[in-house]
Structure 1
């Protein structure tokens, strides 16, 4: 392995982390400033509905059969092997395939959106059926369009320019902050207005990234041709990622729906505020770990195992900082929320502790999942994610109805469902790197 290649990979990784800190820091700040404005604009119940709506619509992102993650790995692998034409063929096939999927999903969603009551879905009569359906259709339309345009984030990851993904999020969040403040000042509270704001901001950020990417990487501009011989490699990797994503979706995003149905949408607001607070830690850790995905891919296919081990050891040292940060947030959570949302907004200390525990376990899992994703060794992740998906909802119902726990019972159930991954993913990473580790010893 060339020392120059290893040094360049490390240098680029550090550059992406620095860029991500700058862009993501701004995006997180804008998101935090928008939350109290949204709560003031909509009120507690409507904000809970809006938060749940975004959670449901985020499911759409996962219906790409994992093509985005498959594309990221295949393009990174092709470029590591110097096969630019092959990389472009994968890009063309992915864009063509996702475009067709997006159109098909929109037609199916449009048909079924008129077949059931959205007031029942959101467990509310505060918002009319017509406004709920209109808002859902707006968000769905924009998210499906972004479903296709957003493939650029996979490409940015593949060429190890992941900091720019955070730039897209910064553009979206700043736009949302400005428009939300304008809505608060000049309009009545309507979820549909936020739906338009959210959609335009989300799509605009990825359009800016797409323009930049294809201007600088002209050799990857898609020709919108579906090459069947490249379809199966994309799908073989992608479908496994898809199943993992679907399972993670159940664990990470059904909590709001469960809380809405078990306790009412007004309880989602406290849950959302606490999770948003602890997302500071998640975001910061993602800034450091996310750029490693395609760097791991490059190192794995160049058989640079020593670099992989070095990065893993660094990530484990940083995990100690994560734990310290979580403990600090638990201690100061009430004070921070009082300053942020208002002194009258009180959060449950038990919910704060359980959310901190959940973030600690999910962050631990992410350290090893990123490496395995980059190597394409996702079978263990697949099985543990499926196990988590199966047990999460039954565990939540047991905690709430069987043991009489409140909202924190839903969070605790999600945490327990992640234990499979917390144990088995590190063992899988050890198996992949044990030859190099034996040499070190």
Structure 2
């Protein structure tokens, strides 16, 4: 393992050293995060039972749609901040940050008001395909979670800035603290309070807000003091500049969401809430591979932005070849995890939950393809070459139909098969585009 690390990550240039240090730190942080997430599953199931856990997962999948109302502003900020910093224009970078905060606060305040009115007439028991007895309770839970989600999303902008500043390890550390706080609070709930989906929703939603507030105060008084948001730096003339790339990222975010989150909703309708819970148990387990990929590849978005701005093609070509080989090694990790999965499930959630080896393999294959797509997207997004991705992203919309159709025929595995087919097509063309750009042979649609 050490030999592989030295081969792929030890280098003397500043950009690679920074990425290497972030990767090393993020591995340690993500290890704790994975353990915390795994520990939370049996806790939640014991507190509210597996059926209500499935309801919670489906509900949070729906609420996560609200993240798209930022119309891609945070990802747009990520590129614009990195570009401004690469050119040493610190005032412009601060203006981008201040303007983004102002826009997000307005957007999510309006969303909160509008949703509060609409929520009163929505039939959540029908939407989630659960008993009508839960409708009033769900309406309260949704309002609580949406309110806290809107606050959380605005505060989380500081983590986008840290990632854009090529310091994703800091953002990951505070994310881990939020998860740890949720775990501690859940333990208190389990020992001190009766089973309540409302209590659990408050605990899980408030914990990130507390940590995000602390991290915002810390960063904007230390590493990011030069860029701290201020009303006098809000420049609405930058909205067009931010918006031009943000809208494109919005479409890409939407397609990613459809492939990731809609599965819970489709499964809830072709199966049961328990099926949703079981799918998420498998995905959380095999998702460790995606977490590894995220840790390795995340630092390279902003690194590729900087390299592309200064035209350092040699560095981009070298890193691309190394990271592509890393993704091939992840296949071995997937196969190993599939082989030992039965023992892991028994140790983790007990012997009552039965999950087949084939089911785990199908989810594992999906996760590996998504890790490849994530890698290619990091490079293309960093360089701002997202037009082809935009065209391919419309494929993800077919998942709503194909996933439901295959789910009705093959069950939950059919839903995952739909995700595999669509993400494979997207990953294939993204790989071709990156290869062409890196080797200076891209033209036409491949260079857009």
State whether TM-score is above 0.5.
yes
Counterpart in the other structure of 1:108: 114
Counterpart in the other structure of 1:349: 357
Q: For the Cα contact (< 8 Å) 1:77–1:298, is it kept in 2? A: yes
Counterpart in the other structure of 2:8: none
Counterpart in the other structure of 1:9: 15
Counterpart in the other structure of 2:4: none
CA deviations on 1:10-54 (whole Å, 9 max, x unpaired) are 111111111111222111111111111111111111000111122
Q: For the Cα contact (< 8 Å) 1:305–1:436, is it kept in 2? A: no
Q: For the Cα contact (< 8 Å) 2:267–2:407, is it kept in 1? A: no
Looking at structure 2, the residues matched to 289 and 276 of structure 1 have their Cα atoms a distance apart, in angstroms, of 19
- Please give the residue correspondences for 1:6-45 in structure 2 after superposition, counting only pairs within 5 Å: 7-45=13-51
CA deviations on 1:112-162 (whole Å, 9 max, x unpaired) are 111121111111117622211111111111110111111111100111110
Q: For the Cα contact (< 8 Å) 2:282–2:363, is it kept in 1? A: yes
Q: Secondary structure at the match of 2:230?
A: coil
- Higher mean displacement: 116-125 or 72-81: 116-125
Counterpart in the other structure of 1:409: 414
Judged with a 3 Å threshold, the aligned counterparts in structure 2 of structure 1 residues 47 and 127 are, in CA distance, closer, same or farther, namely: farther
> Does residue 1:271 correspond to 2:275, yes or no?
no
CA deviations on 1:197-233 (whole Å, 9 max, x unpaired) are 1111111222222122211222201113542321111
Counterpart in the other structure of 1:84: 90
Q: Which residue of the other structure, out of 119, 122, 131, is the alignment partner of 2:128? A: 122
> Does residue 1:400 correspond to 2:407, yes or no?
yes
Q: For the Cα contact (< 8 Å) 1:6–1:307, is it kept in 2? A: no
Q: Which residue of the other structure, out of 189, 193, 198, is the alignment partner of 2:195? A: 189
- Please give the residue correspondences for 1:140-179 in structure 2 after superposition, counting only pairs within 5 Å: 140-179=146-185
Deviation at 1:419, TM superposition (A): 2.4
> Does residue 1:284 correspond to 2:292, yes or no?
yes
Looking at structure 1, the residues matched to 432 and 441 of structure 2 have their Cα atoms a distance apart, in angstroms, of 15
Deviation at 1:6, TM superposition (A): 7.6
4+ residue segments displaced more than 4 Å: none
> Does residue 1:422 correspond to 2:427, yes or no?
yes
- Please give the residue correspondences for 1:37-436 in structure 2 after superposition, counting only pairs within 5 Å: 37-125=43-131, 128-216=134-222, 217-224=224-231, 226-389=234-397, 391-401=398-408, 404-435=409-440
Deviation at 1:396, TM superposition (A): 1.3
The alignment covers a number of residue pairs equal to: 430
Looking at structure 2, the residues matched to 425 and 409 of structure 1 have their Cα atoms a distance apart, in angstroms, of 25
Q: For the Cα contact (< 8 Å) 2:380–2:386, is it kept in 1? A: yes
Looking at structure 1, the residues matched to 133 and 326 of structure 2 have their Cα atoms a distance apart, in angstroms, of 45
CA deviations on 1:227-284 (whole Å, 9 max, x unpaired) are 2321111111111000110111112111111111121211111101000101111111
Q: Structure 2-normalised TM-score? A: 0.93
Deviation at 1:320, TM superposition (A): 2.1
CA deviations on 1:312-363 (whole Å, 9 max, x unpaired) are 1111111122100100111111110010000222113232121011111111
Deviation at 1:289, TM superposition (A): 0.5
Deviation at 1:383, TM superposition (A): 1.1
Deviation at 1:380, TM superposition (A): 1.1
Deviation at 1:179, TM superposition (A): 1.1
Q: For the Cα contact (< 8 Å) 2:290–2:368, is it kept in 1? A: no
Which ranges in structure 2 are unaligned for 5 or more consecutive residues? 1-10, 443-448
Q: Secondary structure at the match of 2:308?
A: helix
Q: For the Cα contact (< 8 Å) 1:21–1:284, is it kept in 2? A: yes
Deviation at 1:84, TM superposition (A): 0.5
Looking at structure 1, the residues matched to 437 and 218 of structure 2 have their Cα atoms a distance apart, in angstroms, of 36
- Higher mean displacement: 221-230 or 65-74: 221-230
Counterpart in the other structure of 2:7: none
Q: Secondary structure at the match of 1:128?
A: helix
Q: Secondary structure at the match of 1:45?
A: helix
CA deviations on 1:61-80 (whole Å, 9 max, x unpaired) are 22201000000100000000
Which ranges in structure 1 are unaligned for 5 or more consecutive residues? none
Looking at structure 1, the residues matched to 303 and 211 of structure 2 have their Cα atoms a distance apart, in angstroms, of 24
Deviation at 1:387, TM superposition (A): 1.6
Looking at structure 1, the residues matched to 42 and 317 of structure 2 have their Cα atoms a distance apart, in angstroms, of 43
Q: For the Cα contact (< 8 Å) 2:304–2:316, is it kept in 1? A: yes
Q: For the Cα contact (< 8 Å) 2:93–2:227, is it kept in 1? A: yes
